[in-house]
Structure formats: C-alpha cells, structure tokens
Amino acid sequence: MAGTVRVPWSVIPDYHCFGCSPHNAGGLRLRFTPDPEGLRTDFRLGRAFESYPGVVHGGMIGVIADELMGNLIVLARQQPAFTVSQRTRFLTPLLIDRDYHCVASLAATAPGPIRASAEVRDADGAVCATSTASYQPFELAAVRHQLTLGDDEVALLATALANGVQP
C-alpha cells in the first residue's frame, strides 16, 4: 500500500484536528493513504468510543467519514470546504476493537456544493456503513475572522493548499 498522505494542515506545527492531528491526544489520529477510489483510512476504535456495550458510537463513524471526505476534497481540489450536510446509513453495528477501513470518493464535478461519499468496510471488505455529504468550498481570506490562526499560519496553509504539501 502507498505511503501516508500528508494533509495541508500538517504545515501548521500544532494543529489540533480531532480527526487527523497527531497532536490531539483525545482525537482519532487518522492517517490517510491513496486508494483507487479516492482516499482511505484504516481504524480500530476502543472502549473510549463505545455506545452500547461493545458497539462503536455511531457518531464516531460519521466523524471518520466526514474527515476522510473533507480531506479528499482538500487534497484533490486544493481548496478547503465546510460540511453543509451529511447523511450516514448504518448497515451493521461496528464493534469495538475490530479493524475497519473507510474509503471516500468524489462525485463528478458539478456547479454548487461538492458531493462526496464514503463506505466503512470491515476486515473482510463487507460494507458496514455508508455516508454521503455536500461541502461548500471557501477561500481562506473569506473565513479568516473565524479561524484561530496567526497570519503566518494562514500564509503557510495557503501555500500548502496552492502548491501541495511537501514531505
């Protein structure tokens, strides 16, 4: 399998994304790899993410799918986008301490929000959950007042988005 993909946010030394930051001790610390369909993450969730005994909380599955779809958009289109809507469908419960992976893909380009989809699969490849979402792209300058980043960090992020992240 190909190596881990760096997200643009990684140019910010102390970014704290709940989904993908290695700096967030309470986060998921997801890592992404290329996939023929788009982007993939492998995961195993323990009891800290439990709902019913032995079952992963469904909200966590939505978070993982959203994280993967959103980062695929950023990597493929070199532009960040906010989630506008998301729908997740559960086919089977996901169990704690089991291996799963999520694969995201983008819909064909069309005017308006960007559409993406994701599937969560078990170790045997069976689909356990699906998610679809719409994302609204934005320019960093337009949302600068909402971000808790310094001017130097915004500049780093803008360069990473425009030129790709350097290894």
Q: List the domain boundaries for the chain.
A: 35-150
pLDDT given for residue 166 in this prediction: 57
Q: How confident is the model at residue 162 (pLDDT cuts 50, 70, 90)?
A: confident
CB-count burial class (<10 Å; 0-12, 13-18, 19+) for 113: middle
Phi, psi torsion values for 144, nearest 5 degrees: -50, -40
> Residue 135: helix, strand or coil by DSSP?
strand
User: What CATH superfamily is the domain 35-150?
Assistant: Hotdog Thioesterase (3.10.129.10)
pLDDT digits (tens, 9 = 90+) for 138-149: 988 888 888 888
Cβ pair 22, 16 in contact under 8 A: no
Please report where in the chains the tokens 């960007």 appear, as a residue. 114
pLDDT digits (tens, 9 = 90+) for 95-145: 999 999 999 999 887 778 999 999 999 999 999 999 999 999 998 888 888
How many Å apart are CA 2 and CA 32, to the nearest integer?
10
Q: How confident is the model at residue 42 (pLDDT cuts 50, 70, 90)?
A: very high
How many Å apart are CA 60 and CA 80, to the nearest integer?
22
